[in-house]
Amino acid sequence: QLIDSATQNVDTVYSLIDTQVKDTLIDIDYFAANITKNMTSGAAGTDGVQKNLAQYLQLNPTILNIHVGTSEGKMIRGNLNAAADPKYDPRERDWYKAAMATPGKTYISPVTTNSDGVTVIQMSKALDDGSGAMGLSFNLTQLREQASIKVGKEGYVIIVDSDKNVIASPSVKPGDKLE
């Protein structure tokens, strides 16, 4: 009975992770397929893209920011309150380079802590027409909270990424390597 309970708890956490990440990957595919160079080159198009990204942020509280970087170096952010360095060139960023190096595939970064101290993963994908890449910051806080369940009497769930960076653990700081 104890093993069944533990298995059920682990299955629940897996289902939460699977659903949240899969839904976000579907969203990335949608944006990458539907944002084109024509939409990111003129002021009217840029405004339309920004409004769509801002609306997406309002509907998805686990996403801290969503953005499009163009092959010309322009950055369109869903969150206009995010600091916008005029010298920022998305083409120089890892998320952009990784997306452009693997067209058709979504790049998912190792777990990191952003400048606000929030544990996140970055997801990015090249736009289908090759004119840039879109990316987003996925907030792992809610996922960590949902995973903080007991397994049996003294057990707990630890979630790590493929590089063994901790996402959720009651004993290891998020973003630290699990030894």
**pLDDT tens, N- to C-terminus, the chain (179 residues):** 545 555 665 565 556 666 677 889 999 999 999 999 989 887 766 888 999 999 999 999 989 999 999 999 999 999 887 667 778 899 999 999 999 999 999 999 888 887 778 888 899 999 999 999 999 999 988 776 766 666 667 776 666 677 777 776 667 777 777 77
pLDDT of residue 176: 76
Separation between Cα atoms, residue 8 and residue 3, nearest integer Å: 8
Closest CA to 21 of 157, 143, 170, 160: 143
Element of type H or E holding 120: strand 119-126
Q: Produce one character per residue of 11-41: b if its CB has 16 or more CB atoms within 10 Å, e if not.
A: eebeeebeebbeebeebbeebbeebbeebbe
How much is the pTM?
0.79
Tokens coding 93:
């960023």
The amino acid present at 129, given as its one-letter code, is D
Element of type H or E holding 125: strand 119-126
Closest CA to 120 of 60, 57, 158, 63: 63
pLDDT of residue 106: 95
Separation between Cα atoms, residue 64 and residue 44, nearest integer Å: 24
Separation between Cα atoms, residue 169 and residue 125, nearest integer Å: 29
Distances (CA, A) of 175 to 78, 112, 145: 25, 5, 15
Coil, helix or strand for 13? helix
pLDDT of residue 173: 76
Coil, helix or strand for 107? strand
The residue behind tokens 């899969």 is: 22
Beta bridge partners of 160: 166
pLDDT of residue 112: 82
